[in-house]
Structure 1
Amino acid sequence: MSRINIVVAGASGKMGSEALRMIEKDPTLHLVGCVDLRYNGQKVSEIDGLPKLDAKFYNDINQCFKEVKADVLIDLTSPKVGYKHTKAALLHGVRPVVGTTGFTTEQLEELTELAKEKQIGGIIAPNFAMGAVLMMQFSKMAAKFFPDIEIIEKHHDQKVDAPSGTAIKTAELIQETRQSKQQGRSDEEEIIEGARGANYDGMKIHSVRLPGLIAHQEVIFAGPGETLTIKHDSYHRESFMSGIRFAIDQVVNLTELIYGLEHLMLD
């Protein structure tokens, strides 16, 4: 079986370095390049704390794609950079697997059209933890019967966006089956602004940011005399690697851009 050539963007970050360790352990994957603002021209093996791999760092993704033969891009950066990287990958015939959240609707539409035009598959996933994907799907199922819902998502204090992409995706999925309603009292008053969280179609989303956390979410459903809580916890960034590995295997056979890992897991 031929190996899949991989480029990792955001390779020196916590998620990116975990992806490098996954690639190092998998004989069917071959790292051919890394894209990062740091370490331009240096080899991965020369950087303390990173695996002993010979691929080179680039600070320009287009230069990287011109110099190496890549099959798949794993992007674990930020929404602004991830959008540019995903577009560059599609233009160069490289299949993107993107774990960056925060794309706008317009950006997703543009990338979807570009993938269709190029007949190249890609995957953008708010969360690559398999359990988190199932948590979102179970929440969608429960919302049909329990329309009173609050979402609490908790992440490390270095996360820049709130709510998380997973929380937003969960709310979007819930909206597909939930009867729209404004929850709580109509005359409810926040003594401190924001105390009740963000409002999404009448349900509330709360974001917690604390050191020591990785990625955690619970969705609380309530009805007369009962509550149902669906909860998922990622205690280590390794929890996202099984989903990324699954996405790599799937994306090489796709001819369109997919948003959400559930479309591949549950088909």
Structure 2
Amino acid sequence: MTINIVLGGPRGKMGTEAIKMMTNEPHFQLVACIDRKNNGKTLHDIQHICDENIPIFDDAASCFQEIKADVYVDLTVPQIGFEYAKLALEHHICSVIGTSGFSEEQIDELSILAEQNKTGCIIAPNFALGAVLMMLFSKMAAKYFPDVEIIEKHHDKKIDAPSGTALKTIDLIKQSRTSKIQGHPDEYEIIEGARGGDVDGIRVHSMRLPGLVAHQEIVFGSKSQLLTIKHDSFHRESFMDGLKLAIEKVTHMQKLVYGLEHVLDVE
């Protein structure tokens, strides 16, 4: 069965890789794009990797009304990605959201909307399958190593910190770990923020530098030992297997799930 896809964010680096993947999958059909700058143009006008005259809309509502789509893929930014995802679900179009930075309230609102419309939605902080396994392994380790810090590193064009992957990792770790204060009880910062962010006693450190793509390590400490779980994405191509899987799975769902681990066979 062919899956008709609308892509939000075709000009970005992730969007470029997604277009390559979608046009090379025989059962995927990219039918439209949403881009705030190129209304009325075709995808070939802005992305010469694509030979097809796929229409571009700057208005998501018009796109979802005029185009017959099965799945909306959002690779935009949080400010507009949330509104686009809402519109897609309201039009009973399944959604795969790779945009990070949504608040808990926004995720809850999308979850309610997905259930009301019986329409699938996957929010994936990270599409790299290795990164998903990294998060799951961290959940397992936290049961035995409750002292933990997270270092996440991304390119300097990323605007949210910490990353969605770090936040999802914390969420999974909290399911296995009792909340605790780490470090010396009298520690203090000479430079504010030197110890990183603090979520439930877990310290999170964010780096933003040119040359990076997406990297994270979780360091667990215990008596006389350290356990480090690490994942590196060196190219955005690493996210495409997970994105492909999410597109295939979401059409069979009638609710929202947060995290790609919910569609992986990891039991």
Note the residue ranges of structure 1 that are not aligned, 5 or more in a row.
none
CA contact (8 A) 1:24 1:53 kept: no
Q: Distance in 1 between matches of 2:116 and 2:199?
A: 34
Corresponding residue for 1:53?
Answer: 52
Corresponding residue for 1:120?
Answer: 119
Corresponding residue for 2:74?
Answer: 75
What is the SS of the residue equivalent to 2:175?
Answer: helix
Q: Distance in 2 between matches of 1:208 and 1:152?
A: 8
User: 1:49 Cα shift?
Assistant: 4.3
CA contact (8 A) 1:216 1:234 kept: yes
Q: Distance in 1 between matches of 2:24 and 2:241?
A: 13
What is the SS of the residue equivalent to 1:18?
Answer: helix
Q: Does 1:141 align with 2:140?
A: yes
Corresponding residue for 2:195?
Answer: 196
CA contact (8 A) 2:11 2:47 kept: no
Q: Does 1:109 align with 2:108?
A: yes
User: 1:200 Cα shift?
Assistant: 1.1
AA of the residue aligned to 1:224 = K
Q: Distance in 1 between matches of 2:73 and 2:152?
A: 25
Q: Deviations over 1:101-130 (max 9, x none)?
A: 121122111111111111111111111111
Q: Deviations over 1:35-85 (max 9, x none)?
A: 011221111112254422221111011111111111100000111211101
CA contact (8 A) 1:132 1:232 kept: yes
Corresponding residue for 1:27?
Answer: 26
Kindly tell me the number of residue pairs found equivalent between the two proteins. Answer: 266
CA contact (8 A) 2:2 2:27 kept: yes
What is the SS of the residue equivalent to 1:177?
Answer: coil
User: 1:195 Cα shift?
Assistant: 0.7
Identical columns (%): 54
Corresponding residue for 1:252?
Answer: 251
Note the residue ranges of structure 2 that are not aligned, 5 or more in a row.
none
Q: Distance in 1 between matches of 2:263 and 2:25?
A: 22
Q: Distance in 2 between matches of 1:110 and 1:194?
A: 32
Q: Deviations over 1:179-235 (max 9, x none)?
A: 221111111111111111001111210000000100000000011100000000000
Once structures 1 and 2 are overlaid, which stretch shifts more, 84-93 or 48-57? Answer: 48-57
Corresponding residue for 1:231?
Answer: 230
Corresponding residue for 2:164?
Answer: 165
Q: Distance in 1 between matches of 2:47 and 2:103?
A: 36
